[in-house]
Copies of this chain bind each other. A is one copy, B any other.
Amino acid sequence: MIQTPYLLFLGDAPDALAAKVAQGIKDWRPELAVGQLRLDGCNADMGLADMTIEEAVAKGAKTLVIGVANRGGVISGNWLDVLKAALRHGLDLASGLHNHLNDEPELVAIAQREGRALHDVRIPSVAYPIANGKKRSGKRLLAVGSDCSCGKMYTALCMEREMRNRGMKATFRATGQTGILVTGSGVPLDAVVADFMAGAVEYLTPDNDADHWDLIEGQGSIFHPSYSGVSLALIHGGQPDALILCDEPNRPHMRGLPHYKAQSLELLRDTALLLARIVNPDCRVTGIALNTSAMDEVEAAEYAEKIEERMGIATVDPFRHGAARLVDALE
């Protein structure tokens, strides 16, 4: 569907977290990214070669992917010049922002004239059903976060890689724009109409082999007031057998909300289990995944050990140390 390879557009991302779409592609499909394009003031860096649109085209790039997700999803004015130039030089555009490429008259006009495609991966492509809550065959795991952007997608992708290496049946199920751009399919849950959220998750994780695991990408947090409804729809639509608690240590407050302090892992465990057991009384918390990217090796190892002792459950940074112990707990 989306032509590869990509040029990753980082725009004027204020920090690395804002460029998580680009980071996800770079980490999980690095062979698909020929380089990165950054504007003045960009504080994100994928470690890829910086290049102009012309250079990317010369390297074989077929699509410019907007790799930055800013709050509210707006396509800012100072990006438009770059996007128009990309179309004129023969690149398609792909975006996971709430505001759609296809709603920008200038981009639509140029794309039509040049025969280029505008991919809005956040637009739901299916008329999802209302959830029926019925038990499906197969197993499901859901990554639940103490906050937004704390490692839920990475945790599920790490576990998929580890399980496939072991010969287990496992499928990462993307629920956000990055996951969809990385894997080529999924449900853009943030953009689904409220009544159909849980049904979209059921649709994404249908009946499967008894020994197959769906590894469902979580969204938001049941503690984050802006997005908690989406998080609960994942719990109730996903009917998880297993939960992984995802946390980035030492955040001073909830992302984007300085007036909300971070909540404890104990409260996350108890609240998520309480809600999950409404739909699956056998649901268990099987592991804790830490995002220790801000720590050095020693600090990260000590912190994980401390949490494991406190919580009594396998605790790792799956991206740093591998997901083996999280998968062991499922076997």
Interface residues of A (CB under 8 A from B): 71-73, 98, 129-135, 189-195, 197-199, 222-223, 225-233, 236-237, 239, 254, 257, 259-260, 263, 271, 274-275, 278-279
Contact = CB atoms under 8 A, between A and B. Distances in A.
A152 to B, nearest CB: 16
B71 A130 contact: yes
A257 B194 contact: no
Contact of A193 (B194, B198, B222): B194
Nearest to A190: B195
Contacts of A222: 232, 275
A137 to B, nearest CB: 15
A204 B257 CA distance: 20
Contact of A232 (B135, B229, B237): B229
A227 B233 CA distance: 8
Given A192-B194, A194-B194, A198-B227, 20 more contacts: A71-B130, A73-B195, A98-B193, A132-B226, A133-B259, A190-B193, A195-B230, A198-B225, A198-B228, A199-B226, A222-B232, A225-B237, A225-B239, A228-B232, A228-B275, A229-B229, A229-B231, A229-B236, A260-B278, A271-B275
Counting every copy of the chain, the complex holds: 2
Contact of A133 (B197, B225, B279): B225
Given A263-B278, A271-B274, A278-B223, A233 B131 contact: no
Contacts of A191: 193-195
A226 B131 contact: yes
Contacts of A72: 129-130
A198 B195 CA distance: 14
Contacts of A133: 225-226, 254, 257, 259-260
B195 A227 contact: yes
Instruction: Determine which residue in A71, A192, A225, A260 has the highest number of CB atoms from chain B within 10 A of its CB, and name it.
Output: A225
A48 B158 CA distance: 62
Given A225-B278, A228-B232, A278-B223, A134 B198 contact: no
Contacts of A71: 130
A229 B225 contact: no
A260 B225 CA distance: 27
